[in-house]
Structure 1
Amino acid sequence: MPLAELESFLREHQATQRLQQARHNGAESSQTLLLLDDEANILRALTRTLRRDGYRILTAETAQQAFELLATEEVQVIISDQRMPGMSGTEFLGRVTELYPQTLQIVVSGYTDLKTVTAAINEGAIYKFLTKPWDDDELRLVVQQAFRKAAMLKVRDQVRQTPDN
């Protein structure tokens, strides 16, 4: 391995170790999940499915409420409905990507406008798309993978910000 790649690898490895140790000691903020859906019963069902995994769960029924939460809370993963009044899920998540690029976004929807969803995925606004009704185990796995990826993005960002010794 070339020296420059080795140094980068070691810095990333050390940052990963520090992040894991901070989590173990409770110093790292909890894994926070934002749920956005205009139907309260869907928010309750999602919360019921995901709360057993130990996530800190925030809920919003409008995009405006979600933006207010994002302005005050550190959120790693967002699950949004696609069809909502005022702003579609992909439009909301596209704006989130611009404002909070480290946040991973998942769409869960019963409506599949393939062209819109495909464009959003290809532009990087959506991490995953799941359909309603969702499979609880699949949803839990996708959210777990999203938190893992968010943690790796955070480590990489920390490594990039660490000055070379």
Structure 2
Amino acid sequence: MELVRANAQGELTALERGMHALWSGMDMKAYAESVGRPRKTVSNEVLAARVAETVARVGHDLTGRSKALVGIHAAPRWLWPALVERLVTEGLTVEVTRKLVADLKDVAAPPAWAGANAIADALVSGEMRRPRSRRWARPWSAKFAWSSTLVPRAASCKMDQYQENKYDLALVLYLRNYC
């Protein structure tokens, strides 16, 4: 706590302050009062820290991207890594990031068997359209029959950058149902 108070001149970044608040063990209001900062500011820093902590696999410095990370927090958690990856690699602005999140905020997580990371990457990059409804491909059941028409029907999906080898069977099932 003393470190945060001693660095009031701005030596700590917003993301570092958010990480400190996140791991302080204090509730937001008490933490904001103890460091003498507005509660809304502390809350936004914590939201950014939660996203940054979750997407450690991205491996980029997210220090100057706190506002964009706050926007990403509004998206479903399973999309965070793909959104942060695009934010960093394409250098998206805060406004563009918020618009992207607004387009994807109601997309439900795919089933566990579907390969959520590949689907998230495809949705965020624009290679795949979002589902027309909140539901994903029909669940596995005894009624689901493998047929020789499965792959041709999925492959006929109109997608600009569809490559047959790029996606696994789960994605093919998704494409068949939602394109």
Alignment TM-score, normalising by the size of structure 1: 0.23
Alignment TM-score, normalising by the size of structure 2: 0.21
Larger radius of gyration, structure 1 or 2?
A: 2
Q: Which has the higher strand share?
A: 1
